[in-house]
Amino acid sequence: MAEIIVEGLRHVYSAGTPFEKVAIDGIDLTIPQGQFVGLLGHTGSGKSTFVQHLNALLAPSAGRVLVGGEDINRDKKTRHDVKWQVGLVFQYPEYQLFEETVFADIAFGPRNMGLKEDEIAERVREAAGFVGVDEELFDRSPLELSGGQKRRIAIAGVIAMRPGVLILDEPTAGLDPRGCRQIMDNICTYQRETGATVIVVSHNMDDAARLAERLIVFDRGHVAMDGTPEEIFSRPQELIDIGLAVPQATAIAMALRERGVALEGAIYTHEQLLAAVLRAKGAGVC
Amino acid sequence: MLKDVTLGQYFPGDSVVHRLDPRTKLILVIVFIIGLFQAAGWLSYAIVVAVTAACMSVSQIRFRTIFKGLKPMLFIIVLTAALNIFYTAGTPVLPGWIITWEGIERAAKMILRIVLLITGTFLLTYTTSPMALTDGLELLLGPLKKLRVPVHEMTIMMSMALRFIPTLIEETDKIMSAQKARGADFENGSLIRRAKALLPILVPLFVSAFRRADELAVAMESRCYHGGEGRTRMKQLKLAARDLVAFVLGAAFLVGMFVLRHYGL
């Protein structure tokens, strides 16, 4: 299975030049198989650099990355083959579509794996199913579809490799609320049905709070916070100090507490907020 | 890795040369080249070398930087030198040798001339930002507008192209990583296979370049851009006292070179 272990990871861009910049430093993390992880952080906090180490797109300046117990940077072959195990969907992936048909574009990854045609076709169909792309679209050009559809096709292109770890960098950026929800639901379905590890890099605290079972907060190249949403959002002030937003429900709860309403427990979803307010009302505090 | 490629060789700085008007610098480079080609004898070469060295020290450009820029030209320099050494008639260095004293002298002068020529133009591009260069070029070529040459359009195209080079490099980098994440292999295989592997990069790159061009055109039009007619600029180029000084020095250099040539020095 594909447990990810990161030890003492450090990455320096343009080392040895005047433009040298330490992007991440001293990252130690273990992500067990099947976990749904939300990766939070500012622009420039190093989260994108970090995820590119997990499939060996970037080589660490120091430290190791182990996937399934094996050092992925051991040699050229492991660096190449880890891409099948760890699928990475970049930000705005629709800009990377290039094939003439939707089918061929989704098939690009499996074809690079050297699979047989019928296996490729099966995987393309399966991946398209996960992201809700209709088979009628298979012969169309991906460039003439809508933004949301393009995004889903691009995600399917990575899912078609059946990665045990699926990483998505801001998968919902620039989509309308409905598109966002659909894509997040698609990702959840993939995780539930395949038991894959999913790591979502996101700015959207509400999504992160709702879906992830573990949140990792990056700040200036270090892991600032790591825990369940409950643990993280019970310390909202730290998030705000780092310069991140908190979920709507947490913000409302903070404002209420400031005004003297005693709400109990960690609050980061609307349901929790509602329940806490009703409890407080029952106790006669407000 | 693509980011390490330096495009446009501008080195930001704050020397007098950096602050000179780009028009002055453009004209002075032309003056320098004309002067350089008047050099015949060793004395005039020595003067050109001294002038170049002086310009370098004033503009705070180190010799190492220039040398780096010269490296790609090494082949041409060596080839020219070799041809001159072997194909110049005169007194042989040793009896029976094909190499002549005249050949050696001419080769040495040729090398000097090429190196100085490159150094002179480098001084321009090292000390002038690409944007300032195109601005200066537009103003210098301004009179051609009378002849219906679309000078403004040409220069704005040039500055836009320069503006988008870093953007496109970044984009290429991103697309490459994304296709690598899907197992694309750009390094192994035969030449044809590697050429084919470029397709997944080139197609999205072109698509995005066209999209960007389109967006830029809309953005410019919605801000009422309609060509050069009656346009004013945010940064007005003004000639200062230092430009006058530079022109006087340039003129003196040019006259001096012509005089030296007259006497064959």
**What per-residue confidence (pLDDT) applies to B8?**
53
Tokens for A171, please give them.
């998968």
End-to-end CA distance of chain A: 51
Alpha helices in chain B (DSSP H): 16-19, 22-38, 42-58, 63-70, 74-86, 101-127, 130-140, 151-181, 191-197, 199-222, 241-262
pLDDT at A88 over 50: yes
- Domain assignment present for residue B3? The answer is no
**What per-residue confidence (pLDDT) applies to B1?**
42
Q: Do B183 and A96 touch (CB under 8 A)?
A: no
Q: Are residues B105 and B21 in the same domain?
A: yes
Q: Do B175 and A95 touch (CB under 8 A)?
A: yes
Give the range of the structural domain holding residue B99, as residue numbers without chain letter. 9-128+238-262
Sheet strand arrangement including A222-227: A86-89, A165-169, A197-201, A36-41, A214-219, A222-227
- Domain assignment present for residue B145? The answer is no
Put simply, whether B193 touches A (Cβ < 8 Å) is no
**What per-residue confidence (pLDDT) applies to B6?**
47
| Structure confidence at residue A102 as a pLDDT band (50, 70, 90) | very high
- Domain assignment present for residue B1? The answer is no
Q: Are residues B195 and B116 in the same domain?
A: no
Rounded to whole angstroms, the Cα distance separating A242 from A255 reads 19
Q: At residue A249, what is the residue type?
A: A
Q: Are residues B45 and B110 in the same domain?
A: yes
ipTM value, please give it: 0.86
Give CA angle at B20 (B17, B22), nearest 5°: 115
**Which residues have a Cβ under 8 Å from the Cβ of A43 and sit 6 or more positions away?**
none
| pLDDT digit string (tens) for chain B, length 265 residues | 444 444 456 777 788 888 888 899 999 999 999 999 988 888 889 999 999 999 888 888 888 878 877 888 888 888 988 888 888 777 777 777 778 888 888 889 889 999 999 888 888 888 888 888 888 888 888 888 888 888 888 888 888 887 788 888 888 989 999 999 998 888 777 888 888 888 899 999 999 999 999 999 999 999 988 876 777 777 778 888 889 999 999 999 999 999 988 887 7
> How many CA atoms lie less than 13 Å away from A57 in the CB half-sphere?
27
Q: Are residues B242 and B216 in the same domain?
A: no
Put simply, whether B184 touches A (Cβ < 8 Å) is yes
* Nearest neighbour of B184 by CB, restricted to A55, A90, A112: A112
Put simply, whether B162 touches A (Cβ < 8 Å) is no
Q: Do A57 and B181 touch (CB under 8 A)?
A: yes
Tokens for B196, please give them.
């084919």
* Nearest neighbour of B177 by CB, restricted to A52, A80, A95: A52
Q: Are residues B16 and B114 in the same domain?
A: yes
The 3-state DSSP class for residue B239 equals coil
CA distance A97 to chain B (A): 6
Q: Are residues B69 and B124 in the same domain?
A: yes
Helix (H) or strand (E) holding A238: helix A236-242
pLDDT at A207 over 50: yes
Q: Are residues B17 and B88 in the same domain?
A: yes
Q: What is the mean pLDDT of residues A99-104?
A: 92
**What per-residue confidence (pLDDT) applies to A235?**
86
- Portion 62-101 of B in contact with A at CB < 8 A: none
Give CA angle at A155 (A103, A171), nearest 5°: 155
- Domain assignment present for residue B141? The answer is no
Rounded to whole angstroms, the Cα distance separating A185 from A188 reads 5
**What per-residue confidence (pLDDT) applies to B7?**
45
Q: Are B152 and B227 in contact (CB under 8 A)?
A: yes
Q: Do B178 and A93 touch (CB under 8 A)?
A: yes
**What per-residue confidence (pLDDT) applies to A11?**
93
- Domain assignment present for residue B204? The answer is yes
Put simply, whether B256 touches A (Cβ < 8 Å) is no
| Structure confidence at residue A1 as a pLDDT band (50, 70, 90) | low
Q: Are residues B14 and B116 in the same domain?
A: yes
If one counts the domains in chain B, the total is 2
Q: What is the mean pLDDT of residues A170-190?
A: 88
DSSP secondary structure string, A192-236? HHH--EEEEE-S-HHHHHHH-SEEEEEETTEEEEEE-HHHHHT-H
Q: Do B174 and A90 touch (CB under 8 A)?
A: yes
Q: Are residues B159 and B114 in the same domain?
A: no
Q: Is the dihedral of CA A8, A11, A16, A20 positive or negative?
A: negative
| Structure confidence at residue A32 as a pLDDT band (50, 70, 90) | very high
Give, in order, the Cα–Cα distances in Å from B188 to each of A73, B3, B214, B222: 18, 22, 36, 47
Rounded to whole angstroms, the Cα distance separating B7 from B92 reads 46
Rounded to whole angstroms, the Cα distance separating A214 from A240 reads 19
Mean pLDDT of chain A: 88
Give CA angle at B46 (B42, B48), nearest 5°: 115
User: In angstroms, how far apart are the furthest CA atoms of chain A?
Assistant: 68
**What per-residue confidence (pLDDT) applies to B191?**
82
- Domain assignment present for residue B231? The answer is no
pTM: 0.75
| Structure confidence at residue A168 as a pLDDT band (50, 70, 90) | very high
Q: Do B204 and A95 touch (CB under 8 A)?
A: yes
pLDDT at A119 over 90: yes
Q: Are B142 and B150 in contact (CB under 8 A)?
A: no
* Domain ranges across chain A: 4-228
- Give A263's DSSP letter: -
pLDDT at A52 over 90: yes
Q: Are residues B94 and B200 in the same domain?
A: no
Question: What top-level class would CATH report for the domain A4-228?
Answer: alpha beta
**What per-residue confidence (pLDDT) applies to A37?**
94
